[in-house]
Chains A and B, each alone.
Chain A
Amino acid sequence: MKQPLEQEPDWEEVLYRYQDMVYHLALVHTKSATDADDVFQEVFLRLVRKNSAFESEDHRKAWLIRTTLNCCNSFWNSAWKRRTVSMEECGDAIDIAHWGEGGVLELIDELPPRYRTVIHLFYYEDMPIEQIGRALKISYNAAAKRLSRARELLRKKLEGGTAYAGFSEELSK
């Protein structure tokens, strides 16, 4: 029987392990470096505040994904106001004016967030559908359907443009 993870892990190690995942998921959703920075910090603060152990690394990863998405949604609720902030105020933010210009990111950017999420988790995080479903708290069926619809939308966008191999690899990883 697997033991739950430590309630007081080495936070630095946890941060380094998942910082890339949290930041990029936030970036894909907020498309703003400053917002992604805020989400990033909030997610790891909530991780520390969470006062129960995770049963496994998968469990922790799923929790981090959900929390990142929740934080992104919260930020979006007031996003239209925050967008009036001038570029100078963005400080050391990365230049996302050219975010994904002409590439795959640009295509993914045009997808509704729920589809962006599954595409990101599947292609960037290499997560199998079952794990995506668990992370998003949806059934395997729903995750597979969502991914399939996202891929269908992407395929449509790819028509007549760049051809990508590996786009149609088997879904049942």
Chain B
Amino acid sequence: MKDAKIAKAFTINPADNVAVVLSDVRPGSTVILPDGKSITAKTEIPVAHKVALRKVEPGEAIIKYGETIGFAKVLIEQGEWVHTHNMGYEE
């Protein structure tokens, strides 16, 4: 499935700005969301990791479960992998 150009993602809460991808995603792949909408992956995203559903400014909250799970360390574009390299929980 590594070469698939279409991948699925799972969202939990309507307020979330990230979704969980259900397979390994390659840059340029189409990521289909549960509501049928889709976004284009900008980076590689490993299975079970988070993809940004929209642009997130530096310092802005990353929302999952409708709650803050951390903050963007840098500008994160829609379709980017969201993990320790670009987010953290520094108060």
Partners in one complex: no
Measuring CB to CB, which residues of chain B are less than 8 angstroms from any residue of chain A?
Answer: none
